[in-house]
Amino acid sequence: MSHANSPRIVIIGGVAGGASAATRARRMNERASIVMLEKDGHVSFANCGLPYHIGGAIQDRAKLLVAKPEMFRRRFNIDVRVRHEALAIDRAAKVVRIRDHAKGVVYDEPYDKVILAPGAAPLVPDLPGVRAPGVHSLRNIEDMDRILADLPGVRRAAVVGGGFIGLEVAEQLRERGLEVSLADRNAQVLTPLDPEMAERLRRELLAHGVRVHLGSGLAAVETDAKGRASGVRLEDGAIIPAELVILGLGVRPSNRLAVEAGLDTGPTGGVRTDAYQRTNDPDIYAVGDAAEYSLGTTGGRGRVPLAGIANRTGRLAGEHAATGMSAPAPAAWGTAILKVFGVAAGITGDSVKSAKARGLDVRAVHITANHHAGYYPGAQSLTFKLVYEAGTGRILGAQAFGGAGVDKRLDIVASLLHFRGTVADLAQVDLAYAPPFGSAKDAVHMAAFAALNDLAGHAPVAAVDADLAGFQVVDVRDPDERAQLPLAGAPHAIAIPLNELRTRAGELDRARPTVVACHSGLRAHVATRLLRELGLDARNLSGAASLRDLALNRPSAAPASAASSCSAAKPCGAPGGTVAPDPHDELHPRNVLAEAAGGALLLDVRSPAEYRSGHVEGAVNLPLDQLKPGAVKALMGGGEDRVVLLLCAAGGRARTAAKRLEGSGVRSVVVAGGTNACVGAGLPIRKLKGAVISIERQVRIGAGLMVAAGVALGTWVHPGFHGLSGFVGCGLVFAGVTDFCGMGLLLARMPWNR
């Protein structure tokens, strides 16, 4: 056995925690003998980068290999042994039994200290078909290579699991051009987030053509006649066709060695550790996904399968094993972030739901702001949620989503969490400011200010999903904003634009508790202060209309208690949801393909000539003058649950069609902006032979000719003909106001349009 000043350290696992432990041990003790074992073929690889090589964002595979065995040997004098699997730890004899898979031999390696860093294995449920060819998990380089080898010829992929890895893989497979479906048994994607924050990600997936199935778990993998995966069957009976299936159901700690060696494990299977990551055997440490950590949120210990904490604790364990001393391991706050197409989202610390589950008196505020000064080019919207404790103001956590700047804001709060900061501390943090980088009042400052106002009673906050039925609700947005995004769950809201509130406050009942809403919360704060100064018991709706739409208009939205949630609300055009749309809902064009892929009928109600001139790929034509519920149901092919997406040129005729279908049992949604907007959104458009100009252009030409004729005849024949021009002008105004164009309907019946 080696001397205490030159210990023999055996590290089991050569990725994040293990590699960090090995190099730190060497830097702290040149005399130590260090052996690092890895059962797979690569050490120190970028496992978080694996999805991005699959998608092509990282094209050079070699860049995933952060450090190769030869570098460890030459630079650090570390004996790296790949394809060497640790079979057992004999604590009495102080040896590790090892299998060399390359040579096919088993041998014993003596140790003074062992650092366990075996990581975690993907969860693979014991269900029919999960071992079939075409079904994969993604843990290491070999898994990635197998997926890439399977990709040629694959058209459809199903990703099971809506966590970090599932979302990243779904995004990258979609970027490769595959038809992608994502399924999760939970009611939302990315369950660490609160529902309204996660909903933004679901909509981003739908906007890029990913089909999302929530609330039903995996029941089986379907296979074809050759035994290969052909799809997945969910617990609700739905079948998702797919030639490639990726399981992203989470991970379980690789704790077999520890358990068989008699080391203690916790309730989640993680190896129990102390402040220095030592197990109940002081000569054996555990780090990484298989180990327990100090949890900042609860004060207890548990697993946090993230690379950052694995690297930091691996470094400390390596130092302690090599020298007998180190700083204690830090608390883990679960800080994590990901990108889903154009949206980044992340969390640090507690969510509202996790804090409530622990019995805390939790409060939260939402702030929507630009990620840097709005007047500097390139500013992108950022939504930030700060979670704190009532009474103490102690910061519990934060979440954010947006196009840029999410990482910066989460890192600021993570730092405050580490030092047990309060919202008052956050309000005073001195942040770097210049227009290209931030704002003089950063989003985190604004959130802290709002939290302080809430705690002090200056501007109390109502929860984003609060039941507003018993409140006097004041919507201070302008009419066009209210029309574009109605305030969910508040049909009784009183509309008073902010600039009119002071003079119209007398219209309000001063005895009723009042909730004020705007689009993102800033104007509502001003209104709340004004009304409180006038003696009303007013509070600001956190997140306002935009976040409330995300909170309520999602597949899982349902009535909840008056204390924390609201009554079921009309979907208000929430894109791509499985909630049954109301007749006058409108769908953004970017979501059309996802809905069509999910089984919706895309119905173009323009004239046949317009349809021939260019229509969204997959749309079928049923002119408005022929539209009857029976004809639509015939096109639905017996699929009574299918949603009908209505298209015309710009939306007017589609809305007329939706009105005609009211009460027929047909669930219809108008595609906002019609075919014109779909073209602008980049949807595939198909043109047929024999096309003529659109009805819209024909109306312009016809109206122009009639006006010109009226002017000419009134000038040269009789003044009474000027009335023709006036009549056409009035008709155009009427069409613009009512969205009904009689001339267009008449032209649609002309022979050349049939």
- 740-744 own/partner pairs: CB under 8 Å, 24+ apart: 740/652, 740/656, 741/652, 741/699, 743/699, 743/702, 743/703, 744/653, 744/695, 744/696, 744/698, 744/699
**CB of 155 within 8 A of CB of 244?**
no
Q: Collapse the DSSP code of 517 into the 3-class scheme (helix H, G, I; strand E, B; otherwise coil) and give the result.
A: strand
Considering only the C-alpha atoms of the chain, give the largest distance between any 2 of them, rounded to a whole number of Å.
118
The full DSSP string for 9-78 is: EEEE--SHHHHHHHHHHHHH-TT-EEEEEESSS-SSB-GGGHHHHHHTSS--GGGGB-S-HHHHHHHH--
3-state class percentages of the chain: helix first, strand second, coil last, to nearest 5: 35, 25, 40
Strand order in the sheet with 620-621: 586-587, 667-671, 643-647, 601-604, 620-621
Q: Collapse the DSSP code of 409 into the 3-class scheme (helix H, G, I; strand E, B; otherwise coil) and give the result.
A: helix
Could you tell me the CA-to-CA distances from 717 to 712, 714, 720 in Å, in that order?
A: 8, 6, 9
Q: Collapse the DSSP code of 516 into the 3-class scheme (helix H, G, I; strand E, B; otherwise coil) and give the result.
A: strand
Q: Which is catalytic among the residues 648, 678, 730, 741? A: 648
Q: For the beta carbon of residue 754, count every other beta carbon within 10 angstroms.
A: 10
Q: For the beta carbon of residue 225, count every other beta carbon within 10 angstroms.
A: 6
Burial of 391 (0-12, 13-18, 19+ CB in 10 A): exposed
Which residue type does 364 have?
Answer: A
| Among candidate residues 202, 215, 136, 474, the one with its CA nearest the CA of residue 341 | 202
| Among candidate residues 115, 144, 146, the one with its CA nearest the CA of residue 46 | 144
Measured between alpha carbons, how far is 613 from 711 in angstroms, rounded to an integer? 33
Q: Collapse the DSSP code of 462 into the 3-class scheme (helix H, G, I; strand E, B; otherwise coil) and give the result.
A: strand
Span between the terminal Cα atoms of the chain, in Å = 93
Q: For the beta carbon of residue 609, count every other beta carbon within 10 angstroms.
A: 23
Work out whether strand 284-286 and strand 120-122 pair parallel, antiparallel, or are unpaired: unpaired
| Among candidate residues 680, 694, 486, the one with its CA nearest the CA of residue 592 | 680
For residue 346, give every residue at least 6 positions away whose Cβ sits within 8 Å of its Cβ, in sequence order, or none.
Answer: 335, 336, 337, 338, 399, 400, 401, 406, 407, 410
| Among candidate residues 301, 244, 304, the one with its CA nearest the CA of residue 278 | 301
Q: Collapse the DSSP code of 474 into the 3-class scheme (helix H, G, I; strand E, B; otherwise coil) and give the result.
A: strand
Which residue type does 232 have?
Answer: V
391: left (phi over 0), alpha (psi -120 to 50) or beta: left
**CB of 558 within 8 A of CB of 541?**
no
Tokens of 367: 């702030």
CA 69 to chain centre: 37
Q: For the beta carbon of residue 207, count every other beta carbon within 10 angstroms.
A: 22
Is 518 a known active-site residue?
A: no
Tokens of 540: 């600001």
Measured between alpha carbons, how far is 413 from 445 in angstroms, rounded to an integer? 11
Polymer length of the chain: 754
CA 434 to chain centre: 29
Name the residues annotated as catalytic: 648
